[in-house]
């Protein structure tokens, strides 16, 4: 018996298959998440309709008779508008959208959060006339698969929009209008696709925690386009740059999120490609292998990178910097090493605000899998060996596990962690 897990990431969308009896995971297929060109400064949009088409195509290709349920995870904070049939009537405005910065400040939430983006769209006449509400991309995909007109938002997605009371499980002031959709804090199926039960969508952060087998005391270091440190807790914690988010089974998730993460390394790659194109007139397809060669016997970084190139959630206008430049270290090697240390340093600073003791260090995200030096730097900074699950795509795996719990195939998140860790 198998479960399919879908994850709609910022960079790619993936479908995995999880074998229920053994916990074995197989990546079925992945595609680049369809994007759109922005119309306005600060706008970051993706093609929601094309995302849905790609997800249906991939699910159809891998939906065999032994699939018992389907789970969906997706990038948080962003919104897509839905009509009264539950169909998308707008692009996906992603978490990187910065147009609503002033509205975010007025609402007391971070820039890029859905309610701030909606407030900007409403003020500027950009809300589609046939829209009756908005939800995350995972919710839109769930509606499309199940053919239902009204999504049910899991608390992990609802909280990512901002202005959400975790303990009361509802949106709160200062929202000016009543939010139209129901919120579920537990486990729930939304409907079915071709006769297979489909769970409501969940946030990719919570899905990654579930899919990596994390337990209380583990610190999850997740490096994708953005990056995060996350810890499960039985009590909420507040601090500068730290959010308390809903988790599963009555627990909280303490999160410190950096906006750049692996994007910083991609920026450096783009810079190197620009230099090659300037010198040769031809742009290389990829220089990642060459950049990786610098890291096999990497010395300590002598450049100090502040990787807040995209700002922070608290201060979107902040920008990064490079310190310690001298005549002997203005080199591609030191740039490669320094920017990786900058990724780790930003996450370590965020963890310091959480302030809870760490018993285990768990990694997630392709940046950690593809970059051994980044993994070593994490271990050095946190003083612990970093465990990477045997499979990739932790968020998609977490979506499959959530669906299995919702379909009552396994009892709870603790059982899910046991299955993923291979414990019997």
Alpha-carbon distance 180 to 177, whole Å?
9
Q: Are residues 47 and 75 both part of a single domain?
A: yes
Kindly tell me if the per-residue pLDDT of 238 is higher than 80.
no
Q: What are phi and psi of 141, to 5 degrees?
A: -65, -40
Q: How is residue 45 written in tokens? A: 């949009």
Residues 75, 187: one domain?
Answer: yes
pLDDT digit string, tens, across residues 298-334: 888 899 998 888 777 667 778 889 999 999 999 999 9
What the block records as the tokens of 182 is: 């129901």
**Would you say residue 33 has pLDDT above 60?**
yes
Query: The whole model's pTM is what?
Result: 0.85
Q: Are residues 20 and 118 in the same domain?
A: yes
> Is the pLDDT at 368 greater than 80, yes or no?
yes
What per-residue confidence (pLDDT) applies to 166? Answer: 93
pLDDT in tens, 58-99: 999 999 999 999 999 999 999 999 999 999 999 999 999 999
Alpha helix stretches (DSSP H) within 38-83: 48-62
The pLDDT of residue 17: 96
- Tell me whether residue 161 is exposed, middle or buried, using C-beta atoms within 10 angstroms of its C-beta: 0 to 12, 13 to 18, 19 or more: buried
How far is 402 from 359, CA to CA, in rounded Å? 25
Whether residues 251 and 368 fall in one domain: yes
Q: Are residues 203 and 228 in the same domain?
A: no
Write the pLDDT tens digit of every residue in 37-66.
999 999 999 999 999 999 999 999 999 999
| % of the chain beyond a pLDDT of 90 | 71
Q: Are residues 40 and 81 in the same domain?
A: yes
Domain count, the chain: 2
In this prediction, residues 146-169 reach a mean pLDDT of: 96
Shared domain for 127 and 154, answered yes or no, is yes
190 and 227 within one domain: no
The mean pLDDT value for 244-273 works out to 90
Residues 399 and 338 in one domain: no
**More confident site: 236 or 152:** 152
Among 342, 421, 349, 335, CA closest to 382: 349
Q: For the residues 126-139, what does the mean pLDDT come to?
A: 97
- pLDDT at site 422: 64
Q: Are residues 249 and 184 in the same domain?
A: no
Is there a contact between 262 and 365 (Cβ–Cβ < 8 Å)?
yes
pLDDT: which is higher, 386 or 389? 386
pLDDT band at 187 (very low <50, low <70, confident <90, very high): very high
Report pLDDT for 239: 67
pLDDT tens readout for residues 405-415: 999 999 999 89
Q: How far is it, in rounded angstroms, from Cα 395 to Cα 204?
A: 5
Beta strands in 65-217 (DSSP E): 67-74, 80-82, 92-93, 133-135, 152-154, 164-165, 170-171, 182-184, 189-193, 196-199, 202-203
Average pLDDT, the chain: 92
Q: Residues 46, 193: one domain?
A: yes
Locus of tokens 């991939």: 58
Tokens of 180: 């139209």
Average pLDDT over residues 174-199: 94
Q: Looking at residue 424, what is its pLDDT?
A: 44
Cα dihedral 99/101/102/107 (nearest 10) = 120
pLDDT tens figures, 207-222: 999 999 888 899 999 8
14-52 as b/e: b if 16+ CB within 10 A: bbbbbebeebebeebebeebbbeeeeeeebbbbbbbbbb
Q: What residues make up the domain containing 220?
A: 214-388
At 423 the pLDDT is 58
Chain CA centroid to CA 398, Å: 12
Between CA 206 and CA 226 the distance in angstroms is: 15
Percentage of residues of the chain with pLDDT beyond 70: 98
Whether residue 100 contacts residue 117, with contact meaning beta carbons closer than 8 Å, is answered with: yes
| pLDDT mean over 111-130 | 96
> Is the Cβ–Cβ distance between 100 and 124 less than 8 Å?
no
pLDDT bucket at 224, cuts 50 / 70 / 90: confident
**Lookup: tokens for 238:** 């507040």
- Give the CATH number of the domain where residue 203 resides: 3.30.420.40
Nearest-angstrom CA–CA distance, 39 and 103: 19
Q: Are residues 76 and 88 in the same domain?
A: yes
pLDDT at residue 362 in the model: 92
């Amino acid at each position: 018996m198998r479960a399919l897990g879908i994850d709609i990431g910022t960079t790619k969308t993936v479908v995995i298959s999880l074998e229920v009896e053994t916990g074995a995971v197989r990546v079925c297929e992945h595609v680049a998440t369809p994007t759109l060109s922005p119309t306005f400064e600060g706008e970051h949009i993706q093609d929601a309709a094309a995302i849905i088409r790609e997800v249906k195509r991939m699910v159809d290709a891998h939906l065999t008779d032994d699939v018992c349920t389907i789970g969906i995870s997706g990038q948080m904070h962003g919104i897509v508008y839905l009509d009264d049939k539950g169909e998308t009537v707008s692009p996906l405005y992603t978490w990187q959208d910065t147009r609503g910065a002033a509205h975010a400040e007025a609402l007391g939430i971070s820039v890029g959060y859905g309610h701030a983006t909606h407030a900007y769209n409403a003020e500027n006449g950009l809300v589609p006339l046939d829209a009756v509400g908005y939800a995350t991309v995972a919710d839109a995909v769930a509606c499309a698969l199940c053919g239902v007109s009204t999504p049910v938002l899991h608390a992990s997605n609802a909280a990512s929009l901002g202005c959400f009371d975790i303990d009361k499980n509802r949106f709160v002031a200062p929202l000016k209008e009543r939010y139209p959709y129901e919120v579920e804090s537990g486990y729930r199926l939304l409907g079915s696709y071709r006769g297979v039960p489909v769970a409501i969508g969940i946030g990719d952060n919570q899905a990654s925690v579930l899919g990596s087998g994390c337990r209380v005391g583990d610190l999850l270091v997740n490096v994708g386009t953005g990056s995060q440190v996350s810890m499960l807790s039985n009590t909420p914690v507040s601090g500068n740059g730290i959010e308390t988010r809903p988790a599963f089974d009555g627990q909280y998730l303490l999160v410190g999120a950096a906006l750049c993460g692996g994007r910083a390394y991609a920026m450096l790659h783009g810079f190197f490609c620009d230099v090659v194109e300037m010198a040769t007139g031809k742009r290389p397809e990829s220089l990642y292998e060459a950049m990786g060669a610098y890291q096999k016997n990497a010395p300590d970084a002598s450049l100090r990178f502040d990787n807040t190139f995209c700002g922070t959630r608290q201060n979107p206008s902040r920008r990064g910097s490079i310190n310690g430049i001298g005549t002997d270290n203005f080199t591609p090697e030191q740039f490669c090493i320094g920017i990786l240390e900058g990724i780790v340093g930003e996450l370590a600073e965020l963890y310091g605000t959480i302030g809870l003791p760490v018993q285990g260090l768990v990694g997630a995200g392709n940046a950690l899998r593809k970059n051994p030096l980044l993994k070593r730097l994490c271990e050095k900074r946190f003083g612990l060996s970093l465990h990477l699950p045997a499979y990739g795509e932790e968020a998609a795996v977490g979506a499959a596990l959530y669906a299995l719990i919702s379909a009552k195939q396994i009892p709870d998140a603790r059982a899910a962690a046991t299955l993923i860790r291979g414990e019997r």
